[in-house]
A and B are shown apart, each in its own frame.
Chain A
Amino acid sequence: METVRVTTGEGETTETELYWGYNVNIWRGDGDVVRLVDAEGQVVMEHGYGDMEGTESDGGTGDETADTDDETDNETDGDTQSTVDGELEIHHIDVGQGDSTLIITPANETVLIDSGDWRQDGSAVIDYLEAQGIDRIDHLVATHADADHIGGHAAVIEHFERTGEGIGAAYDSGVPSDSATYNNYLDAVDEHDVELLLVERGDELPIEGDVSTQVLHPPAETGSDVNENSIVLAFEFGDFEYVTTGDIDTDVEQQLVEELGSDLEGGVYKVGHHGSSTSSSEALLDTMAPETAIISSAYDSQYGHPNDVVLERFVERDIETYWTGVHGDIVVRTDGTATAVETEESFSTAPEDILEETPDADETTSRLPPSPLVAGDVASGIDGAVAPALG
């Protein structure tokens, strides 16, 4: 009787040892079956995960037996996917018309994704973090350089570097903005020697413990468009999945759907671009198949966020919907199996009720001009029309 040793890991294949060359745990859960097949495609033997005896098939030559080596056994002993320790918290801070999300990991690391609009200069975010007793941001992410996402970055860096334990590292898409807001953020990074890291698809944020954070976008070679190159992150903790897409538009969503497919699946979707019609395409929603959607925008968003079209898509798919405009701060807590959402204000989470609550499209259009500072009727170098109606 000959013995052949089959290993999922890497090594040099010999007459009696076969290596599959995977450097990740591939042999890890119920339902995984290894089949040994001869040159004619005949199954020689079958071995299910957890079934230590193995099952010899009737056909085939029958003079080979499979064995597992130490490496494979170690994988067998490893945790299954859903057993993780502790609790993951995701706080969607109500910053009005902007974005800011605080994640607290079971290992007690903090991740701040965006920091609100420039007008708040970080104050809403800093107050919220202080109330949580947080004195350090381990990972500060700028999904992209717009002033409603990085508006508090400089102030947050200054605050935690001066009065707290500082910033572990900052992460950026690498596509700069012309604004003073962006420039001030870079100056704060410079002044306080914050490690600034550019991320691209395939990276994983170096977060401790059982939380995995994959960077799905942007690609290594970005163009110059700030929104299109937003950082897209997929968090996984046990069975819990959370995807946040910055301000990417439907073209980029389509690209991700085509290239990533089921890797995009996520139970909780942090809605792209504040619920704008530029994002949350049907293709994205059908691939991601979220059960819960979370929108961050002002109740009286001057840009008409969230858009009715997007909310109607949520209605069609029966997606539980949260909106900072009505719910205030929205906190998702999970132990990797069960997930609970707490909100500052109580309001229905049925998307049709949110749809009912947002101004309809006509009202939104009539809002322009939104401030007394627009629409001069004497204009040079520009079209002299007074605030043309949009639609």
Chain B
Amino acid sequence: MDGTYTGVVDRIEDGEIAVILLEEDGQVIEQLDVAADRLPEPARTDGGVLSVTLEDGEIVSMEYRPETTRDRRESTQEKLDRLSKRLSDREE
């Protein structure tokens, strides 16, 4: 696996291992588990969207993408707000 991918920090397991999901065309295609302290700031504490470059299947760089992170969070929140309502407000 080679090239530069969009990667999202899905979670950090037990404060130690960061789970990064690589995407292609809006689908997750691979998962990378890396030591959490290898993440660039601020992804180390707040997750977000990264550009992850692989050579021969190994990570050669991870770059935090602040604008993409912000845009994605806004659009996901808007979608969630549009689609959901509170159970306590449900009329039935």
CB distance from A297 to the nearest CB of B (A): 11
Q: Is the CB of B9 within 8 A of A178?
A: yes
Q: How many residue-residue contacts, CB under 8 A, span A and B?
A: 161
For chain B, give the interface size range: 35 or more
Cβ–Cβ contact A203 & B31, under 8 A: no
Dominant secondary structure at the A interface: loop
* Complex alpha-carbon distance, A196 and B69, angstroms: 24
Given contacts A147-B21, A178-B69, A198-B87, contact A380 B61 (CB under 8 A): yes
Question: Could you say which residues of chain B place their CB within 8 Å of the CB of A11?
Answer: none
Select one of A202, A205, A381 contacting B63, CB under 8 A. Answer: A381
Instruction: Knowing A380-B61, A388-B35 are in contact, say whether A178-B90 is a contact too (CB < 8 A).
Output: no
Taking a contact as CB atoms under 8 Å apart, the answer to whether B10 and A376 are in contact is no
Interface size on A, residues (CB 8 A): 58
Q: Which of A64-72, A104-112, A321-329, A366-374 contacts B (4 or more CB under 8 A)?
A: A366-374
The listed residue (B26, B31, B64) touching A118 by CB distance below 8 A is: B31
Query: What are the residues of chain B within 8 A of A14 when measuring CB–CB?
Result: none
**Interface residue from B10, B37, B72 paired with A147 (Cβ < 8 Å):** B10
* Binding stretch for chain B, among A17-25, A168-176, A351-359: A168-176
The chain A residue with its CB closest to the CB of B21 is A179
Q: Which residues of A contact B63 (CB under 8 A)?
A: 380-381
Interchain CB contact under 8 A, B83 and A186: yes
Contacts A196-B84, A372-B58, A376-B59 given: A181-B17 contact, CB under 8 Å? no
- 20 further interface pairs, Cβ-Cβ under 8 Å (given A146-B11, A374-B35, A388-B37): A118-B21, A118-B31, A147-B10, A176-B76, A180-B27, A181-B28, A183-B26, A197-B90, A200-B87, A200-B88, A203-B87, A276-B13, A302-B33, A304-B14, A307-B14, A374-B32, A374-B59, A376-B58, A380-B60, A381-B40
- Measured in the bound complex, the distance between the Cα atoms of B42 and A271 in whole Å is 31
What residue of chain B has the Cβ atom nearest to residue A301's Cβ? B13
Can you list 7 contacts pairing A with B, beta carbon distance less than 8 Å? A203-B87, A205-B87, A369-B34, A375-B34, A376-B61, A382-B61, A390-B35
